[in-house]
Amino acid sequence: MKSILPVLTIIAAVLFIWTLAVVPMNMHLTADQAQRSGARVTPDTPIARKETNGFVLALKNPHLIPLTYVGKRPNLPSPHQVAVEMFDTIFGKKITSKRSLVYHGWITLAPTLLGFAIGTLLGVLLAVGIVFSRVMDKSVMPWAIVSQTIPILALAPMIIVVLGAAGIHGVLPKSVIAAYLSFFPVVVGMVKGLRSPDHMQLDLLRTYSSNNAQSFWKLRLPSSTPFLFASLKIGISASLIGTIVAELPTGAKAGFGARMLVGDQYGQPILSWAALFAAALTAAALVGIISLVERGTLCKMGMKPA
Amino acid sequence: MTQEPTIDARGLHLTFETNDGPVHALQDVNLKINKGDFVSFIGPSGCGKTTFLRCIAGLETPTSGHISVNGLTPDEARRARAYGYVFQAAGLYPWRTIGGNIRLPLEIMGFSKFEMSERVERVLELVDLTGFDKKFPWQLSGGMQQRASIARALAFDADILLMDEPFGALDEIVRDHLNEQLLQLWARTEKTIGFVTHSIPEAVYLSTKIVVMSPRPGRITDVIDSSLPKERPLEIRDSPEFISIAQRVRDGLRAGHAHV
């Protein structure tokens, strides 16, 4: 409960700044529309207004300020517009409807989870290889690092196209991109975790004449658990981002990414913003679930959570 | 009939190659340790006392010379479970209970479930931790943790116990208490104990044989056979005999320094 208050404070501050920013951001649009429908606006030509800054325009036309919060196609939607849109599209539509955010959420979530599973498995396997084989340490690690320096935005369409040409459509191509982003934090975290036992602990096992497999299962793997969870939290959010990025440039018809793109292309920013926030909430929920599993696991293992 | 020594080191040399040139960790170390001895290794840092203990355990390989443990090479002796090793830190696995930690070597060595629980109970009793097997390490004090790590080293019935400054990180009062307990344990189990320390009173109080070492190169400067009786109350540390042995250890340490 103690952690709730600081979080709420930050949210309140963000909402406050956001609410203030809506006025100057939308002022020009609002003034143009108001004039067209016969209201008096100073200055009275669009060109003169263009040269006036949004704040000044708001001060000169205080009667227009409330209208900046209700525009249909604002530059910056107000918080309540986004909230209403989200409520409508999450609770107000059947979840099978193409206009339901829950529907689009699931379209994005499925490849996210599959990609996360693939990425985690791949990451753990690579980490084990890297820790136990010098050759893999020297050869795989640099490539893993290089893989993350390639802009995913450039790579994603290529992967989709190549897999599409190979006849693979649907969930899998998006999962591949999600896995591409999520395996890396798992590799880095697990390599560190599997190497975390100190000399003394390894020497102790040597005095028992234990073999490599025994020291892996009894010492290295349990030691790496806290590192694994830290990586999983980064990995799952990277996975979600990967899936959304995969939806953006490829003309996907559904999913958070498609929703954001549609909102942009058809001048419906409220739609984009609602999808954006839904994606953020989904990521927060996923990270939250992993945190809960982490707490449970570490507690069961007798370790006090850090 | 002369008994073969439990540990027999002859002309032992060990040189570490480092970036700053070779470091002579051990030079011409000759030592015999008999069954049931309590041998302390004392000396300043870098004198090779820990290195020598690690040679006995087969954790380091001497550059030259000969060392045997129970008539075997250190590697063979380790596979024959000749010794239990206690490190300076307890090094208990935080994710295992005390009982689970003591079971660790037993699991690796393939003891049966029934035998494991029997042994855990027995060694916990030996270190006075009966009833703590379900506790996790963080629920125990530092002294209790170190006792648990001694129990772990005793669990598989090695007849040699190698201890590398096991009480170095504990405060004086806990240390006195543990020293007393260790002597009782030694009397009950008749193990051969090799004990690294840099405390003179601790070495004199515990040992039947005190090996004084000096650094650069690491070598033995004096071996003192203690004339103290096997029964040793803490008050023995005020006796003239105790003080004279401590004096000899101190002289040995000082002589070692004079060579440098």
The answer, for B110 touching chain A at a CB cutoff of 8 Å, is no
- Give the residue from chain B lying closest to A220, CA to CA: B93
Report which residue type is found at A228: L
Position B163 confidence tier, pLDDT thresholds 50, 70, 90: very high
pLDDT digits 0-9 by tens, B149-159: 999 999 998 88
- Give the residue from chain B lying closest to A298, CA to CA: B95
CB contact under 8 A, A302 and B107: no
Question: For an interface test with A, which of B108, B146, B165 has the most A Cβ atoms less than 10 Å from its Cβ?
Answer: B108
The answer, for B183 touching chain A at a CB cutoff of 8 Å, is no
Q: A203: which chain B residues are within 8 Å (Cβ-Cβ)?
A: 59, 85, 87
Q: Which of residues 45-104 of B touch A (CB under 8 A)?
A: 57, 59, 78-79, 83-85, 87-89, 91, 93-97, 104
Share of chain A above pLDDT 70, in %: 98
Task: State the pLDDT at residue B260.
Answer: 46
What mean pLDDT is reported for chain B? 90
* Mean pLDDT, rounded, for B199-217: 91
From CA A210, how far away is CA A217, in angstroms rounded? 11
pLDDT digits 0-9 by tens, A221-232: 999 999 999 999
Position B198 confidence tier, pLDDT thresholds 50, 70, 90: confident
CB contact under 8 A, A302 and B136: yes
Q: How far is A212 from chain B (nearest CA, A)?
A: 11
Cα three-residue angle A96-A99-A102, rounded to 5 degrees: 55
Number of A/B CB contacts below 8 angstroms equals 49
Share of chain B above pLDDT 90, in %: 57
Task: State the pLDDT at residue A181.
Answer: 94
Domain spans of chain A? 4-76, 101-300
From CA A4, how far away is CA B76, in angstroms rounded? 60
CA A38 to chain centre: 44
Nearest CB neighbour to B105, from listed A203, A208, A304:
A208
Q: pLDDT below 70 — which residues of chain A?
A: 1, 304-306
Q: How far is B9 from chain A (nearest CA, A)?
A: 19
Report which residue type is found at B6: T
CB contact under 8 A, B108 and A214: yes
- Give the residue from chain A lying closest to B105, CA to CA: A208
CB contact under 8 A, A302 and B59: no
Q: Tell me which residue of B125, B149, B100 sits closest to A302, measured CA to CA.
A: B100
pLDDT digits 0-9 by tens, B216-255: 888 898 899 988 888 888 888 889 999 999 999 998 888 7
Task: State the pLDDT at residue B1.
Answer: 42
Q: Which fold has domain B1-82+167-260?
A: Rossmann fold (3.40.50)
Rounded to the nearest 10°, the torsion over CA B184, B185, B191, B196 is -90
Q: Tell me which residue of A25, A37, A39 sits closest to A81, measured CA to CA.
A: A25
Rounded to the nearest 10°, the torsion over CA B97, B100, B105, B110 is -170
CB contact under 8 A, B79 and A209: yes
Task: State the pLDDT at residue B258.
Answer: 59
Would you say the pTM of this structure is higher than 0.95? no
The answer, for A302 touching chain B at a CB cutoff of 8 Å, is yes
pLDDT digits 0-9 by tens, B19-72: 888 888 898 999 999 999 999 999 988 888 999 999 999 999 999 999 999 989
Q: How far is A192 from chain B (nearest CA, A)?
A: 18
From CA A139, how far away is CA A126, in angstroms rounded? 11
The answer, for A291 touching chain B at a CB cutoff of 8 Å, is no
CB contact under 8 A, A208 and B108: yes
Residues in chain A: 306
Residue A229 and residue A297 in contact, taking contact as beta carbons nearer than 8 Å? yes
Task: State the pLDDT at residue A45.
Answer: 85
Position B259 confidence tier, pLDDT thresholds 50, 70, 90: low
* Cross-strand bridge partners of residue B16: B23
Q: Looking at this predicted complex, what is its ipTM?
A: 0.88
CB contact under 8 A, B91 and A304: no
Contacts of B17 (CB under 8 A, 6+ apart): none
Residue A82 and residue A277 in contact, taking contact as beta carbons nearer than 8 Å? yes
Domain spans of chain B? 1-82+167-260, 88-157
State the architecture of A101-300 in CATH terms: Orthogonal Bundle (1.10)
